[in-house]
Amino acid sequence: MVDSKIKLAIVGVGKIVKDQHHPSIIKNPDYELVATASRNGFLDGIESFKSIESLLANRKDLDAVSLCMPPQYRFTAAKFALEHGVDVLLEKPPGATVCEVNQLEKLAVMNDCQLYTTWHSRHAPAVANAKRFLSQPQLKIEEVLINWKEDVRKWHPNQEWIWQAGGLGVFDPGINGLSILTHILPASFFVETSILKFPENRAAPIAANLSFTSEDGYRIIGEFDWGISGGEEWNIEVITDQGKLILSSGGAKLAIDGEPQEVEQYSEHGEYESIYREFSSLVSNRKSNVDVSPLALVADAFLLGERIILESFDE
């Protein structure tokens, strides 16, 4: 993209767009942010439309869209964009269901467009280093622990939709951990047992205990909890025959056998800057990057889940 910038629009302008997408896009010379489409939101100084239909009717020069509306509205918008020959970036999770994302992958191929299902935590500073360590050909993984715990009152105050059916509950953050794990482990893994804990007044789980089996035979234990107070615990521990890897702070820090490893220093938009660098490269090279596996693991956890009812949760 030396001569021509990617003409990009953002659809669904909310907090994550203002905090992350917008600043990351304007820093990247590969993009020209030409418009937004959103029922209520807009960005100062950028042409705005109310819907993706009017956006695409008016801006026929568009190369790509970033879809940041709530997951249940993404399929229709993505299909519409792909059928109009526009490349698509999807905020996480890429849809409300696994099946619709599989179908989007087919639609992208049929329309000769590129599709990118982003998982921002995969772009955290220490994730690439962890992946490199675990990819050593002789290394043998023995056991994996993933703890993804935070205080829902601190991180999601008054977000009613995350407690509704389909809102994912504790897997709204937990899927970030699973997106890292599916990225850094060399072997596939599958849910083996799942215990989901629901507050009696909520439709989504506040905590979950999962176990997974890896295709290579080792066990993965996962603990997801939204009910802790105070700090956060966003950690992955991988015990190998060549040392114990600890990826902590949501992928920001890495230690091997207790020794902190040097990782790249990130700005506050580092993960999304990396996402937009990758999208530029995908668009230029006419490649897609579609991975629904973190959402599919969560769906499998619900499919196999034993449900335990806890006392009511009130904010």
Residues that bind its own copies (CB under 8 A): 75, 79, 96-100, 102-103, 165-166, 188-191, 194, 198, 203, 215, 293, 296-300, 302-307
Measured from the CB atom, the residue of 53 and 306 that comes closer to its own copies is 306
Q: Are 163 and 203 in contact (CB under 8 A)?
A: yes
Instruction: Name the residues annotated as catalytic.
Output: 92
| Antiparallel, parallel or unpaired: β 259-260 and 253-256 | antiparallel
257 burial via Cβ count (<10 Å: 0-12, 13-18, 19+): exposed
Minimum gap (Å) between residue 140 Cβ and its own copies: 18
What is the secondary structure of 32-43 as a DSSP string? EEEEEE-SS---
Minimum gap (Å) between residue 75 Cβ and its own copies: 7
Minimum gap (Å) between residue 200 Cβ and its own copies: 10
Which uninterrupted H or E stretch holds 256? strand 253-256
Residue 306's SS3 state is: strand
What is the secondary structure of 48-74 as a DSSP string? EESSHHHHHHH-TT--EEEE-S-GGGH
What lies within 8 Å, CB to CB, of 261 at 6+ separation is: 126, 129, 254, 255
CA distance 120 to 122: 5
CA distance 13 to 29: 21
Minimum gap (Å) between residue 190 Cβ and its own copies: 4
Closest CA to 116 of 3, 274, 225: 274
Amino acid type, 156: H
Minimum gap (Å) between residue 80 Cβ and its own copies: 12
Q: Are 88 and 82 in contact (CB under 8 A)?
A: yes
The residue count of the chain comes to 315
Minimum gap (Å) between residue 161 Cβ and its own copies: 13
